[in-house]
Amino acid sequence: MWVYILKRFLVAIPMILIMALATFLLMGSTPGNYLDTIRMDPQVSEETIGYYQHLYKLDRPLLEQFFYWIKNLLRLEFGYSFHYNVPVTRIISARLLNTFILSFASFVLTWAVAIPLGIWAAVHRNQWIDRLIQLFSYIFLSLPSFFIAMILLYWASQTGVLPLGGMYGPDYDQLTLLGKIGDILTHLAIPTVALSIGSIAALQRIMRGNMLEALGQKYILTARAKGLPENKVVYHHALRNAINPLITLLGYEFSSLLSGAALIEIICSWPGLGSLMLTAVRSKDIYLVMTSMLMGGVLFIIGNLLADILLVKVDPRIRYD
């Protein structure tokens, strides 16, 4: 098992390098660089631009730039942001917690609602409650999340129940700790719901499908035939066999915890990483983009590995030697 984990880490290194190279080349293959924006300002002289171009090695070939970045990476230097003119780590760390709060809230809400809902729907297959759940799933799967966010914001603006965006209220600094948490939670409500609702619909459908497949198996018939109570049949036999694909999905979810959700963040003016990265890509703030990509990639690989290890723990048929 430990050998297997070690192998997975060794395989991860070239994977991350290839991922980084691909991103770097994609960023570099489009014309222009960050300095072009500055160049349009007549007050900035050619010499200054040339100085920065040399400083950031933007006058060098793309591959050389890449290897220079890798070299610095090995010394744990992630580079400077052109736009903010500070190390990218400082910008990212400032927004990391915000993004994590939103993603984690959405993650918890999604799984806590979708899994029981899927089981419930499968157990009551084709009864009215199942049909109702499936109808709403289709509706919420078809609606884009930003549209839901806008509807929620409109509702909030009409009723005034929830704040209209941002992360903190104007009197945040004067609040007690409990008040601060409450304040963030009320601001969190709309973006979280908007982010989760489509995922709930999708995950619920996956759970329902897996559950139905498991419930159709012969060992379920055996369990019923020997007179096991129905709830034991569902939870001990069917659920345990239906959970595998969801564990894999859980691994994928892990990476999205820190990648941010640009659209929702922009609409709800949540100060997260998603909107930051969108601006960074558009303005070709290359090292900021690279670092975020690196973070997502590493988390993705770790998440997958965790899911695979978890699978061994829950399914005796899976073994890695």
Partner 1 sequence: MILLELKNIKKYFPIKRKSWGGQGAFVKAVDQVSLSIYPGENVSLVGESGCGKTTLARIMIKLIQQDSGSIKLEGQEVANLKGSKFRKFRKDIQMVFQDPFNSLDPRFTVFHILKEAMTLEKVRYRHFRDQEQRIKELLAAVDLPVNILNRYPHEFSGGERQRIAIARALVLNPKLLILDEAVSSLDVLIQDQILKLLQELQDKFQLTYLFISHNLKVVRRVSHKIAVMYKGKIVEMAATQEIFQNPLHPYTKELLSAAIEYKSVRRSEDINIHPNAQLVEKEKGHFVLDV
Task: State the nearest-atom distance from the C-beta of 215 to partner 1, in Å.
Answer: 12
Of the pair 17, 221, the CB lying nearest partner 1 is at 221
> Is residue 227 within the footprint of partner 1 (CB under 8 A)?
yes
Q: Which range, of 149-157, 161-169, 225-233, 294-302, touches partner 1 by CB under 8 A? A: 225-233
Task: State the nearest-atom distance from the C-beta of 232 to partner 1, in Å.
Answer: 8
In the list 53, 89, 134, 217, the residue contacting partner 1 (rule: CB under 8 A) is 217
Rounded CA gap, 109 and 89, in Å? 29
Per residue, what are the HEC states of the chain?
Answer: CHHHHHHHHHHHHHHHHHHHHHHHHHHHHCCCCCHHHHHCCCCCCHHHHHHHHHHCCCCCCHHHHHHHHHHHHHCCCCCECCCCCCEHHHHHHHHHHHHHHHHHHHHHHHHHHHHHHHHHHHHCCCCHHHHHHHHHHHHHHHCCHHHHHHHHHHHHHHHCCCCCCCCCCCCHHHCCHHHHHHHHHHHHHHHHHHHHHHHHHHHHHHHHHHHHHHHCCHHHHHHHHCCCCHHHHHHHHHHHHHCHHHHHHHHHHHHHCCCCCHHHHHHCCCCCHHHHHHHHHHCCCHHHHHHHHHHHHHHHHHHHHHHHHHHHHHCCCCCCC
Of the pair 30, 231, the CB lying nearest partner 1 is at 231
> Is residue 12 within the footprint of partner 1 (CB under 8 A)?
no
Which positions ≥6 away from 264 have C-beta within 8 Å?
A: 102, 145, 146, 149, 191, 194, 195, 270, 274
Of the pair 72, 222, the CB lying nearest partner 1 is at 222
Task: State the nearest-atom distance from the C-beta of 225 to partner 1, in Å.
Answer: 5
Pattern 278-317, partner 1, x by CB under 8 A: ------------------------------------xxxx
In the list 75, 218, 282, 313, the residue contacting partner 1 (rule: CB under 8 A) is 218
Q: Which range, of 109-117, 177-185, 194-202, 218-226, touches partner 1 by CB under 8 A? A: 218-226
Task: State the nearest-atom distance from the C-beta of 123 to partner 1, in Å.
Answer: 17
In the list 219, 235, 252, 320, the residue contacting partner 1 (rule: CB under 8 A) is 219
> Is residue 222 within the footprint of partner 1 (CB under 8 A)?
yes
In the list 75, 226, 282, 313, the residue contacting partner 1 (rule: CB under 8 A) is 226
In the list 109, 184, 228, 306, the residue contacting partner 1 (rule: CB under 8 A) is 228
Say how many residues touch partner 1, by CB under 8 A.
20
> Is residue 257 within the footprint of partner 1 (CB under 8 A)?
no
CA-to-CA separations, 1 to 4, 8, 131, 271, 299, in angstroms, rounded: 5, 11, 44, 41, 21
> Is residue 128 within the footprint of partner 1 (CB under 8 A)?
no
Q: Which range, of 3-11, 81-89, 142-150, 235-243, touches partner 1 by CB under 8 A? A: 235-243
Contact positions vs partner 1 (CB under 8 A): 217-219, 221-228, 232, 236-237, 240-241, 314-317
